[in-house]
C-alpha cells in the first residue's frame, strides 16, 4: 500500500506547495468545524450562559496543549530533514522516538489538565455563574488530551514526508462523528456542556487511531513498527532542540491570551459569549495562515535536507505572498459579514454586538499575522526555532500583557483589549521583516542549511 504524498523537492514550486497546502487547509477547516459545532450546539440547544462557559475555556485549552504541539513541530522538522536527505535510518529513529515521547507527554497532559482545571479557571476570573459548567467542559475535554497529542504527532510525521491527504481523510470522518454525537448528546438527549466536550474527545480519538493504523500498514520507509517504538537518545535531543523553542513560543502566546481572556471576562457573560463566538470563527479565518505555515516548514526542512538552497528561497517568497494575500481577503470578508458570522453562534443581540466589535477591530490586520507566522514556519524548517521564539515572546507575550495591563486602566473598554492583537502583530512583523531582509540572514541561512545536510 503506497502512501499518496506530494514531492516538495522537485517540480514546480507553486504546484507542489499548493498541492501540499490545500489538504492541510481542508484538514484544519474540518477540525475547526467540529470545534465550532460544539459551540453552536451549546449556544442554540442550551443557553448563552453555557456558551460563555465553553468560551471561557478556549484560551486555557490552547495554553495547555500548545507546548506539546510545538514539540510535535520539532519532530516534524527532524523527520523532514532526514526524509529530504534520504537518510531513512535516522528518519525511522526520529519517528519512533516521537511516538514514544508523545505517549508520555499525552498521559502527563491528561493528568495535569484534569487536575488543575478548577484552579486555573479561578485564576482567569471566570464568573461564578458559569464556573461549574466551565470546569465540566474543560475536564471532559482533557480526558482526551492524549488523543490530541498523538494525533498531532502522527500528522506531523505524515506532513514531514509530504503526505497531507490521509490526515484530511481521517479528519473528515471524525468531523462527521463529532457532529453526530453533538446532535445526539446535546440536541436530542439534552445533556449539558460536558457531553459536547466528550463528543470532541471521542472524535479526536478516532482520528488519532485512523492515522496510527495507516502508519502501521503503509509500505514505505516511514512505516511504524510497534517493536521499534522507543527513545533514541540522539533523535530525542534533536526533537527537543527544535521542538522546545516552538513549544515555548506557543505557550507564552497562550499565556498572554489567557490574560486577554481574563480581561474579556471582566465585561460579563455577554462579552464572553460574543468574543468566544469570534474565537471559534478565528480558527476558520486563520486557515490560510496555518496551512502555508505548515507547508513552509515542511518545504524548507525537506529542501534544506536535499541541499536545494535556491529552491528554498523561491519557495519562501511564494508561500509568504500567498498566505498574506489570502489572509487579507479573509479579513475584508470577515469585516463585512461580521454580524452574520457572530450571529451564527448566538441569538442574543448584546453578545453579537460585543463579538462584532471585537472582530472588526482585529480582522483587517490578518495579513500581519500571516507574515509573522510564515517567517516563524520558515525559521523552524531551517532549524532556527529560537528566532521566532524570542521575537514572539517579546511581542506577543511581554508587550501584549504590558499593553493590556496599562491600557485597560486608562480606557476600560473592550476595544482596548481587542487592539492588543493588531498592535503586537504589527510589532512582530516589523522585527521579522528586518531580519528576513538582512543580507547576512541569507548567508546564515545557507550556512545553516549546509550544517543540516
List pLDDT tens digits, range 336-347: 999 988 887 777
Rounded CA gap, 450 and 436, in Å? 19
Q: Which of 385, 43, 420 is nearest to 263 (CA)?
A: 420
For residue 366, the model assigns a pLDDT of 93
Say if 132 falls within a structural domain.
yes
Say if 6 falls within a structural domain.
no
For residue 22, the model assigns a pLDDT of 82
Q: Provide the residue range defining the domain that includes 298.
A: 13-452
Say if 4 falls within a structural domain.
no
End-to-end CA distance of the chain, in Å? 30
When mean pLDDT is compared across 10-24, 255-269, 423-437, the lowest value belongs to 255-269
Q: What is the mean pLDDT of residues 238-242?
A: 84
Q: What nine digits make up the cell of 11?
A: 517540480
232-246 as b/e: b if 16+ CB within 10 A:
beebbebbbebbbbb
Q: What angle do CA 33, 110, 25 make, to 5 degrees?
A: 25
DSSP string of 241-290, one letter each residue: HHHHHHHHHHHHHHHHHHHHHHHHHTT-HHHHHHHHHHHHHHHHHTHHHH
- Say yes or no to pLDDT of 215 above 90: yes
Say if 122 falls within a structural domain.
yes
Say if 193 falls within a structural domain.
yes
Tell me if 110 sits within 8 A of 143, measured CB to CB.
Answer: yes
Task: Note the pLDDT tens digit of each residue in 366-407.
Answer: 999 999 989 988 888 777 778 888 888 889 888 988 998 898
- Say yes or no to pLDDT of 40 above 70: yes
- Say yes or no to pLDDT of 274 above 60: yes
Greatest Cα pair distance, the chain, in angstroms, is 63
pLDDT-derived band at 177, boundaries 50, 70, 90: very high
Chain centroid to CA 168: how far? 15
- Say yes or no to pLDDT of 255 above 60: yes
Q: Which of 97, 124, 221 is nearest to 163 (CA)?
A: 221
pLDDT-derived band at 63, boundaries 50, 70, 90: low
Tell me if 95 sits within 8 A of 30, measured CB to CB.
Answer: no
The total number of structural domains that make up the chain: 1
- Say yes or no to pLDDT of 305 above 60: yes
% of the chain at pLDDT higher than 90: 19
Q: Compare 123 and 22 and report the one with higher pLDDT.
A: 22
What's the chain's average pLDDT? 82
Say if 1 falls within a structural domain.
no
When mean pLDDT is compared across 36-45, 233-242, 324-333, the lowest value belongs to 36-45
Rounded CA gap, 149 and 204, in Å? 10
Say if 2 falls within a structural domain.
no
Q: What angle do CA 103, 217, 219 make, to 5 degrees?
A: 120
Rounded CA gap, 343 and 353, in Å? 9
Q: How many CB atoms lie within 10 A of CB 101?
A: 23
- Say yes or no to pLDDT of 233 above 80: yes
Q: Which of 162, 147, 202 is nearest to 23 (CA)?
A: 162
401-414 as b/e: b if 16+ CB within 10 A:
bebbeebbeeeeeb
Cβ-Cβ contacts under 8 Å for 12 (sequence gap 6 or more): none
Rounded CA gap, 196 and 244, in Å? 32
The CA distances from residue 128 to 122, 265, 412, 414, in Å, are 9, 11, 22, 21
Q: What is the pTM of this model?
A: 0.72
Q: What is the mean pLDDT of residues 119-126?
A: 74
% of the chain at pLDDT higher than 70: 90
- Say yes or no to pLDDT of 245 above 70: yes
SS3 239: helix
Say if 330 falls within a structural domain.
yes
Task: Note the pLDDT tens digit of each residue in 346-368.
Answer: 778 888 888 899 899 999 999 99
pLDDT-derived band at 162, boundaries 50, 70, 90: confident
Q: Which of 401, 404, 405, 399 is nearest to 431 (CA)?
A: 399
- Say yes or no to pLDDT of 216 above 80: yes
Q: Which of 372, 390, 386 is nearest to 436 (CA)?
A: 372
Q: What nine digits make up the cell of 72?
A: 510535535
For residue 309, the model assigns a pLDDT of 79
The CA distances from residue 424 to 200, 391, 393, 397, 401, in Å, are 32, 11, 11, 9, 10
Rounded CA gap, 94 and 153, in Å? 11
Amino acid at each position: 500500500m503506497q502512501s499518496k504524498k506530494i514531492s516538495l523537492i522537485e517540480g514546480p514550486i507553486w504546484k507542489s506547495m499548493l498541492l501540499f497546502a490545500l489538504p492541510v487547509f481542508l484538514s484544519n477547516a474540518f477540525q475547526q468545524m467540529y470545534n465550532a459545532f460544539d459551540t453552536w450546539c451549546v449556544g442554540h440547544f442550551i443557553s448563552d450562559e453555557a456558551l460563555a462557559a465553553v468560551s471561557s475555556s478556549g484560551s486555557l485549552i490552547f495554553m495547555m496543549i500548545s507546548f506539546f504541539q510545538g514539540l510535535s513541530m520539532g519532530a516534524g522538522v527532524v523527520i523532514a530533514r532526514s526524509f529530504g536527505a534520504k537518510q531513512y535510518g535516522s528518519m525511522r529513529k526520529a519517528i519512533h522516538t516521537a511516538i514514544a515521547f508523545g505517549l508520555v507527554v499525552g498521559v502527563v497532559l491528561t493528568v495535569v489538565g484534569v487536575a488543575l482545571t478548577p484552579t486555573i479557571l479561578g485564576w482567569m476570573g471566570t464568573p461564578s455563574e458559569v464556573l461549574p459548567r466551565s470546569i465540566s467542559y474543560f475536564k471532559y475535554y482533557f480526558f482526551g488530551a492524549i488523543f490530541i497529542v498523538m494525533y498531532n504527532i502522527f500528522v506531523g510525521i505524515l506532513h514531514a514526508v509530504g503526505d497531507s491527504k490521509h490526515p484530511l481523510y481521517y479528519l473528515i470522518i471524525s468531523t462527521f462523528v463529532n457532529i453526530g454525537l453533538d446532535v445526539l448528546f446535546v440536541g436530542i438527549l439534552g445533556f449539558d456542556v460536558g457531553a459536547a466536550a466528550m463528543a470532541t474527545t471521542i472524535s479526536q480519538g478516532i482520528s488519532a487511531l485512523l492515522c496510527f493504523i495507516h502508519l502501521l500498514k503503509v509500505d514505505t520507509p516511514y512505516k511504524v513498527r510497534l517493536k521499534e517504538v522507543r527513545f533514541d537518545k540522539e533523535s530525542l535531543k534533536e526533537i527537543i532542540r527544535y521542538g522546545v523553542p516552538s513549544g515555548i513560543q506557543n505557550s507564552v502566546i497562550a499565556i498572554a491570551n489567557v490574560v486577554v481572556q481574563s480581561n474579556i471576562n471582566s465585561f460579563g457573560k455577554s462579552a464572553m459569549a460574543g468574543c468566544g463566538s469570534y474565537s471559534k470563527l478565528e480558527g476558520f479565518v486563520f486557515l490560510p495562515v496555518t496551512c502555508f505555515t505548515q507547508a513552509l516548514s515542511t518545504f524548507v526542512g525537506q529542501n534544506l535536507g536535499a541541499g536545494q538552497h535556491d529552491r528554498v528561497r523561491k519557495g519562501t517568497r511564494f508561500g509568504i505572498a500567498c498566505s498574506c494575500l489570502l489572509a487579507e481577503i479573509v479579513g475584508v470578508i470577515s469585516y463585512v459579514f461580521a454580524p452574520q458570522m457572530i450571529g451564527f453562534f448566538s441569538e442574543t443581540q448584546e453578545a453579537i454586538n460585543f463579538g462584532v466589535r471585537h472582530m472588526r477591530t482585529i480582522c483587517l490586520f490578518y495579513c500581519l499575522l500571516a507574515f509573522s507566522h510564515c517567517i516563524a514556519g520558515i525559521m523552524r524548517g531551517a532549524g532556527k526555532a529560537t528566532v521566532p521564539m524570542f521575537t514572539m515572546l517579546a511581542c506577543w507575550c511581554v508587550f501584549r500583557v504590558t499593553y493590556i495591563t496599562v491600557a485597560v486602566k486608562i480606557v476600560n473598554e473592550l476595544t482596548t483589549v481587542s487592539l492588543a492583537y493588531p498592535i503586537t502583530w504589527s510589532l512582530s512583523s516589523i522585527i521579522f521583516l528586518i531580519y528576513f531582509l538582512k543580507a547576512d540572514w541569507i548567508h546564515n541561512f545557507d550556512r545553516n542549511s549546509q550544517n543540516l545536510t
